[in-house]
Structure 1
Amino acid sequence: MHMNGPENMTRDERLRICRDIASRLREVYGERVLAIGVYGSVSRGTDGPFSDIEMFCVLRESGEAADCSYEWSAGPWKAEVNVRRADIMLGEAATVEGSWPLTHGPYFSQLSLYDPQAFFPRLKEAAESPTAEDFKRAIHEVLVGEMYEFIGKLRNIRHGGPHTYLPYLAMAFAQYGAMLIGLHHRHRYSTGAMVVPEALTLPHRPDGFDAVARMVMAGELADASTIMSACEHLWDGLVRWSAEHDYAIHTRRIPF
């Protein structure tokens, strides 16, 4: 049966494609290649029959620009290859931002296809280097940059609509609430599909998170009053959670 888009593929077939891509990268970039690895579900061994391929190509430090991404579909499968200079990758790995629990897993574990100078252990060391203050700062940024804005949008809707935006807001509350929980525990989620379910397994969750998370996972997003009540409850829980763990939401009136 002909199928548009991804087709059923075995893990061995997918790994064979990864090796072919690695070989081509070494042809294109030559001696500049420092390391090549696979990340995502393929590196974890959790790839399904329709999973895509995600790879790193790390280049030696030089004066030449090297920060690009190839993303393509070959018909039955899709691949993404991030080409980065080593110093850029090490800097990214050592940085903590709001989506760290989802984005930084690749820096901790890769399936190495080529690494003669042991770059990937250095990458893991860089990823483990952020301090408690770095995580605290990222949590503050999510609380103010995302959650505070979300509650303002929710209250605007209560004041005058439109209610059609509420399902998206509920999903945003659940997603970024999970990021806060992950940052608090320095926990890396396995995949985007599991962010909210995995957050529910971690301790010290803000009061109200569970109700919003379960509402979103069940797709129960039709009743406006239920969404607004649940999200307000989560916001109140976040304020208490932040005070309990010394995470600042408010600062002085003008902080500069």
Structure 2
Amino acid sequence: MQHGDRIKVVRGIHIRVQHAYKNSILFGGVYGSTAIGRDTEFSDIEMMYVVKEGGPQADKTFLYRGIPIEVNLLPIARIHRRLAEPDLQLPWLMGNLAALQLLAGEEKQRRELLDTYSRLPDAAIARFFLAHGAEIAYESFNKIRSLPRRGNTRERELFVYEVVREIALALALLNRRPITRGYYAAVKESYEFPHIPEAYRELTETFIRAEEVKEAIEAGQNLLASYERFLQERGICVPRVETLDEVAW
């Protein structure tokens, strides 16, 4: 399926969504590679519609002539709740909103959501890291450290990607910036944030390029150490204990 054919599919979906949910849609359109004209004949099609509270909530996913189609129907109240209590996937959501090529609704409504994200209170960010900071990067990095004992080094690249992706998302949240690209491109996008750990780009690239598990472990330790210093300098607390009695059960 060529780009022109893909756009015809987008228009066909949009017409049907508008007909089915015309009284609920606030704004919506297409995002991803199809929206910016970088799709290939194998690319999926991703669409998103922000709807009124009480409107449709079930996403539509299906294969159309072998091409994956995803149509997200997202109640605006759910977005506001996520903005009030951020999570690690919020930068992805804001990135999808930022990249959305509008087919319905007004730009003002999208801009208001992105502006709210750009002004997330420090307290909301701090609550997220206090509750979930220990989940970011550490589990994935320890999987790399476990590889020699398990005798399986084939998964090294997968776990390296998990570490750098999670750190990139954490930095996006701290900077109140959306993530508009996918996979390793998202990590490179984080290099341009105004507030990043010392030598972040260099440490991350060294970690990604590591060809042996031992080299990856050393590079990952250096990256995590810089990331931890960065959090500490900004007063972000990730819970750490030495005894179970220190946990507030």
Range class of TM-score, shorter chain: 0.7 to 0.9
Matched, 1:9 2:11: no
Q: 1:28 aligned to 7, 17, 20, which one?
A: 20
1:130 corresponding residue in structure 2: 120
2:193 corresponding residue in structure 1: 202
Structure 2 gap segments, 5+ residues each: none
Q: Report Cα offsets for 1:172-196 as digits up to 9, x if no partner.
A: 2221222232223222222113112
1:214 corresponding residue in structure 2: 205
CA distance in 2, matches of 1:204, 1:60: 35
Query: Residue 58 of structure 2 aligns to a residue in which SS?
Result: strand
Identity %: 19
Structure 1 gap segments, 5+ residues each: 1-6
Contact 1:94 1:129 in 2 (8 A): no
Q: Root-mean-square deviation (CA), in Å?
A: 3.2
Matched, 1:245 2:234: yes
- Quickly say closer, same or farther: Cα 1:117–1:168, change in 2 above 3 A: closer
Contact 1:9 1:49 in 2 (8 A): yes
Query: Residue 176 of structure 1 aligns to a residue in which SS?
Result: helix
Pairwise CA distance, 1:227: 0.9
Most deviating of 205-214 and 178-187: 205-214
CA distance in 2, matches of 1:229, 1:32: 52
Most deviating of 70-79 and 238-247: 70-79
- Quickly say closer, same or farther: Cα 1:205–1:32, change in 2 above 3 A: closer
1:3 corresponding residue in structure 2: none
CA distance in 2, matches of 1:129, 1:202: 15
Pairwise CA distance, 1:94: 4.9
CA distance in 1, matches of 2:95, 2:107: 21
CA distance in 2, matches of 1:197, 1:247: 23
Q: Report Cα offsets for 1:39-59 as digits up to 9, x if no partner.
A: 33444x353334432222344
CA distance in 2, matches of 1:101, 1:88: 15
Count of matched residue positions in the alignment of Structure 1 and Structure 2: 242
1:57 corresponding residue in structure 2: 49
Matched, 1:226 2:215: yes
TM-score (norm 1): 0.76
CA distance in 1, matches of 2:96, 2:71: 13
